[in-house]
Amino acid sequence: MMRQFSFEKLEVWKNAINLTIDIYRLTNAFPKSEMYILTTQLRRASVSISSNIAEGNYRKTGKDKSHFITMAYSSLMEVLNQLIIAKELRYIEEDELENLRDKISLVANQLNKLKNYHNK
């Protein structure tokens, strides 16, 4: 059996990974002209969410852990902003945005809870 690291057990990390998978699938349908612009930015920001959760999990102090959670939250809001732009450009439908917004809200709430835990 493969060793599992502690961040892999976090529900927020799992949900962030699932969000990234959704973003990759969604952006596959974006126009080719967006490949190096909105597609790349959305993918990079979504990957950053789970990456910051993983990296922050191994920091020594609560303050350091909290900093990486804040960075993950910032990337999450960047993803939401870019999805709103994609919807306005008609690259995605309203229902796709709402579905992703629900997933973003879940991750945001989980990040806030994790940050509060580390700030105790």
Burial of 104 (0-12, 13-18, 19+ CB in 10 A): buried
User: Is residue 87, in this structure, part of any structural domain at all?
Assistant: yes
Chain segment 42-76, per-residue pLDDT in tens = 999 999 999 999 999 999 999 999 999 999 999 99
Let me know if residue 4 belongs to a domain: no
Q: At what angle do helices 62-88 and 38-57 cross, to 10 degrees?
A: 160
Q: Give how many domains the chain has, as a whole number.
A: 1
Q: What is the pLDDT of residues 1-38, one digit of tens each?
A: 788 999 999 999 999 999 999 999 999 999 999 999 99
pLDDT given at position 112? 97
pLDDT at 120: 80
Q: Which domain holds residue 104?
A: 9-118
